[in-house]
A and B are shown apart, each in its own frame.
Chain A
Amino acid sequence: MRAERGDDALGVLDRMTCILEAFDQDDRGLGISELALRAGLPKSTVSRLVATLVRQRYLERDGRLIHLGLRLFELGQLAEQPRELRIAALPVMTDLRNRTGENVHLAIRDARAMVCIAMVRGRGGAMPAVRTGTRVPIHASALGKAALAHAAPAEVDEVVSEELDALTTETVTDPVLLERELADIRRGGTAVEDRELDPDVRGIAAAVLVPGSGLAGAISVSGRAEDFDASRYAADVRAAAKTVAQRLASFGPARG
């Protein structure tokens, strides 16, 4: 279908997406040539689109280098779904970090991925952590499994109907095992991640379930695999998820 539509709107939007998604988490500026290479587009096309995107502040030019711009930040902050949950969760996340000393994440579900919408860094500052705005596969993370455990059976089927990629040697890629684990998570209230996303990280998560409206997201605690004992934090994570849900419910619907 895409090919049929040739060079019209979707073509341009696709190219814009290729350019914007060429920038990764490390905030290193890109020159036009490198940007074209990463986006997989001709340099002339990239130069032309970049000129418009810079004018509209979707991109910023710093000498020769190009960065993601302020307009994207502004638009992103206005996204309603993450905003409400973040406001409800931030004090709870800080409290959870202070109790555990570990990295605390908040994520929402988007199809087969979890989008990290907030992060509070643990005391072991150097520990690498999933950053805000990053997507992680739903089947390979505590956050994702906690969320998926509360999804409708049809949605779970949809996730497991596609191949479950192995991110590490520990990732659960067998649909039967995953579904069995999801049932356990539903019973116990927490999901554990044991080096399934990152070979050096263990974590535990709980779903944020709002009475009446269902799954809002998931909250997790994670840390360095060698000295992280997930079971120690189960009660704290469950309690934090519940508090976030209560705060979110207390905001009421359609809060500006």
Chain B
Amino acid sequence: MRSALRDEPVSVLDRILAILDTVRESHGSTTITQLALATGIPKSTVSRLVGDLIRQRYLTRTEEGVVIGLRLFELGARASTPRRLSVAALPVLAELFNATGEHLNVAVQEGREMLSVISVRGRLRPVPSRAGVRVPSVTTALGKAVLAFTDDEGVLGSVFTGLDSSRRNTFEKELVSVRTASVAIDLCETFPGVVGVASPVLSPDRVPVAAISVAGPVTDMDPHRMAPLVRHAALALTHRLALQVA
């Protein structure tokens, strides 16, 4: 009996987290049927767990199905990394926005993607990314800025899978030059008509902890004019974070 108790709750927790993750990936509302299909959990169990999650405010019921609830907003606002980054980044972003007027992001690495933690709206419409949204590491300036400084083989390996050998070769060369310049550029690789310029934010032992980017319309934003501004902002944020730790 003891062993049954030991295993059961963990698997229930896994199921709960799988449901929340599926709601996250749906970027809108999801139904019980869709959740059951995506998670492989029996529909009756999904239905019961979703009921519990709604009662505890992790999810909210809407006309179309279920969406993320307010408790997750409340807990998320207390999460450590975004909060520390925000405190350090806000003055840096204000200065960069005054200098550029463009769309800004501070993002951290999440697997093969970059998760935006703070964003400031510039001229771009529609807005290509905002806080809480992920963009692919392999094409975005944010992703390349971080990858160029990472020596985590697991991360690099997972980003490289899916690239053929010539693409991989070009990409590795690009990362070497990003490393030298401390600036990465995304010339319409991720979003049509959008150019992005990013620079990495490093920890005191030179591990990339985030990246900061400027994005604007390719028609009239010169990435080379932006490069020194973004590099300066990333350095300023690096210093401010180092002071926070000390």
Residues of A within 8 A of B (CB): 7-17, 20-21, 23-25, 27, 29, 45, 48-49, 52-53, 56-58, 60, 62, 67-70, 72-83, 108, 110, 115, 117, 131-135, 256
A68–B80 CB distance below 8 A: yes
Residue of B nearest to A76 (CB): B76
Shortest Cβ-Cβ A-B pairs, 5 listed:
A76-B76, A77-B132, A133-B77, A67-B80, A73-B79
A69–B79 CB distance below 8 A: yes
Inside 8 A of A81's CB, which chain B residues have their CB?
60, 70
Distance A134 CA – B73 CA, assembled complex (angstroms): 10
* Selected A-B contacts with CB under 8 Å, 22 pairs: A7-B5, A12-B9, A13-B53, A27-B78, A48-B10, A49-B13, A52-B17, A57-B110, A70-B79, A70-B115, A73-B77, A73-B81, A74-B115, A74-B134, A76-B76, A77-B132, A79-B67, A79-B72, A108-B70, A131-B77, A132-B77, A133-B76
Inside 8 A of B9's CB, which chain A residues have their CB?
7, 11-12, 15, 45, 48-49
- Asked whether any CB of chain A lies closer than 8 Å to the CB of B69, the reply is yes
Nearest Cβ on chain A to B90's Cβ, whole angstroms: 10
Distance A96 CA – B180 CA, assembled complex (angstroms): 44
Main secondary structure of the interface of B (DSSP, over half): helix
B14–A133 CB distance below 8 A: no
Inside 8 A of B83's CB, which chain A residues have their CB?
27
Known: A9-B12, A12-B12. A72 touches B52 (CB 8 A): no
B56–A9 CB distance below 8 A: no
Inside 8 A of A74's CB, which chain B residues have their CB?
24, 76, 110, 115, 132, 134
A70–B82 CB distance below 8 A: yes
Instruction: Specify which of A14, A24, A49, A82 is in contact with B73 (CB 8 Å cutoff).
Output: A82
**Further contacts, 5 of them, CB under 8 A, given A13-B52, A115-B74:** A7-B5, A10-B52, A72-B76, A80-B28, A256-B28
Inside 8 A of A21's CB, which chain B residues have their CB?
75
Known: A9-B12, A73-B117. A78 touches B79 (CB 8 A): no
Known: A70-B108, A75-B24, A115-B70. A9 touches B49 (CB 8 A): yes
Which residues from 44 to 78 on chain B have a C-beta closer than 8 Å to any C-beta of chain A? 45, 48-49, 52-53, 56-57, 60, 67-78
Instruction: Specify which of A9, A70, A83 is in contact with B16 (CB 8 Å cutoff).
Output: A9
Inside 8 A of A134's CB, which chain B residues have their CB?
74, 77
A72–B70 CB distance below 8 A: no
Inside 8 A of B79's CB, which chain A residues have their CB?
67-70, 72-73, 76
Known: A9-B16, A12-B16. A78 touches B78 (CB 8 A): no
Inside 8 A of B132's CB, which chain A residues have their CB?
73-74, 76-78, 83
B78–A133 CB distance below 8 A: yes
Nearest Cβ on chain B to A75's Cβ, whole angstroms: 4
Distance A255 CA – B63 CA, assembled complex (angstroms): 15
Interface centre among A10, A68, A73 (most CB of B within 10 A): A73
